[in-house]
Structure 1
């Protein structure tokens, strides 16, 4: 389904990591397309529609180069964040995303989060109608349980399951990843660089306004100190390959299977080529074993406002 093993996570252009410059963001997206990074991952909730509009501007005149993935189900407004995946509103959400993106069809349309008030089968049924109408090519699910995946798949084929997966967060390997693979879905890994943890790309002082890592247990106190020590151990391993730690971390994730598509986010055009090049790095069996054995501390931040323990 995907033309490259690396995609681009676009959330950071509109929220979560502090202010961003739109023109720089557009340059980064276009640089990604130039380097064969075609999968652009966004959501209607990112910046309350701003992110989709930004991508629409970036891909104008280059639609054939972009594989556009967007999500619905998290609604961000003046009163905060809520979940809404009611089947009666799925079509309106899709149409609004199509307008903001400036496209006729969405390549991959995700349910961003399961709405606890709505059976997932009902939501996916409404999504399937979008495929039948030619508004959407493929369906995906983000942060679901194996049981939810099975219920959705019984209604319509699911092309991709999105989840947080990296060297520093491996819990999905115990449940949803095996279930998704058994059901024929690809794995789209967001935050594959651990939200900057794996690269050590953290502010020297406190996190700035709007940076949601401030509430993540992995980025505080003893857990952060222990995790940064592991990152230092990674540096020596990366130096043996003459690559960065981020490059190494992406190569590890790609080595987990041909069905894995990491979507690292970056605001820097110069990082695009480095991330894309990770697909060419082949790690030895000994080094993969070394990376598998690393121990990380801290759980992911809990987003009670989303009605889920999962983040992003």
Structure 2
């Protein structure tokens, strides 16, 4: 693993530029759990030098955190453990809930499942329009004071919402969707993070597998796979995105790299970013080293932009993933 690292404000341990994303390990919306492979994936990530593991209670309704807690027994001090708060669920339906009383319950549940006495980075998963942001921030700041949390972050927040949060408590990180195909944060969130010295944990850097270079037009999505509801995986958009991947692969080939490595490298070259590499099987994180210790040049970046403009005539963002407010 490379020496490419970033410092997260409030944390003593430097963070690897690639983190293990564990949404799929939870099983829900990804075809069900596979705990044996999940544990092996976590072990392989550590062996590769990945020291940031990002999860959330809603990933499998606690299952992802539970698997991680068991897998990290005896190894907890090797990782920066990041989880989230602010989503609730009832009868399998997820909704936003960042009330202080919910936060107090969630942190104890997460600590128990993760088998740890503290969370390194605690992030508000989605803004809750029915709870004032300052109330949420105040409850989280108390967790830092109590020693249960080391640093605070937010996910899917706008700059204005981050400003509201930072009036009450310091922010170390922001976690938005960011990849070659979903670049909305370049208009506001990314410049804001750079200006305010926040680390960006970019989720979905492979765009639900589209940018892995392994997806074909005949791929079918079954069961509760969230790609069944993602507009990118429906025609005519699916063909447009696959065409872009095929053309982007020529740039990867020029560097002697895989398409997957190109997609991750692009994210790493855009700013103070950590790419959340999602995986549920050990082989899915093979190639981590291929994404590190090289850079895309200015000509590459211009060529990438030209390909996206030419091939994707009807782009769409990740809005379909946003959970509703609570009733």
Q: Determine whether 1:108 maps to 2:121.
A: yes
What root-mean-square deviation, in Å, do the aligned CA atoms of Structure 1 and Structure 2 show? 1.7
Unaligned runs of 5+ in 1: none
Q: How many angstroms does 1:30 deviate by? A: 1.0
The 10-residue stretch of structure 1 (202-211 or 114-123) with the greater mean CA deviation from structure 2: 202-211
1:95 maps onto 2:113 in alignment: no
Q: Does 1:10 align with 2:22?
A: yes
Structure 1 residues 192-247: Cα deviation after superposition (integer angstroms, max 9, x where no partner):
01111112444734311111111111111111111100000012211122211010
**Structure 2 partner of 1:275:** 288
Q: 2:240 aligns with which of 226, 232, 249?
A: 226
Q: Secondary structure at the match of 1:263?
A: strand
- Where structure 2 has 5 or more consecutive residues not aligned to the other structure, the ranges are 1-7, 9-13
- Specify whether residues 304 and 230 from structure 1 end up closer, same or farther in structure 2 by C-alpha distance, changes over 3 A only: closer
Aligned positions of 1:74-223 closer than 5 A: 74-78=87-91, 80-202=93-215, 204-223=218-237
Q: Deviations over 1:237-269 (max 9, x none)?
A: 111222110101111111112x10010101231
Moved over 4 A (4+): none
Aligned length: 307
In 2, the alpha carbon distance for the partners of 1:142 and 1:284 equals 29
Alignment partner, residue 54 of structure 1: 67
Tell whether the 8 Å contact from 2:48 to 2:288 is kept in structure 1 after alignment. no
TM-score, with structure 1 as normaliser: 0.94
- How far is 1:284 from its partner? 2.4
Residue 266 (structure 2) aligns with? 252
Q: In 1, are the aligned partners of 2:130 and 2:325 still within 8 Å (CA)? A: no
Which stretch has the larger CA shift, 289-298 or 14-23? 289-298
Change (3 A) 1:30 1:145: same
Partner of 2:316: 298
- Which segment drifts farther, 52-61 or 289-298? 289-298
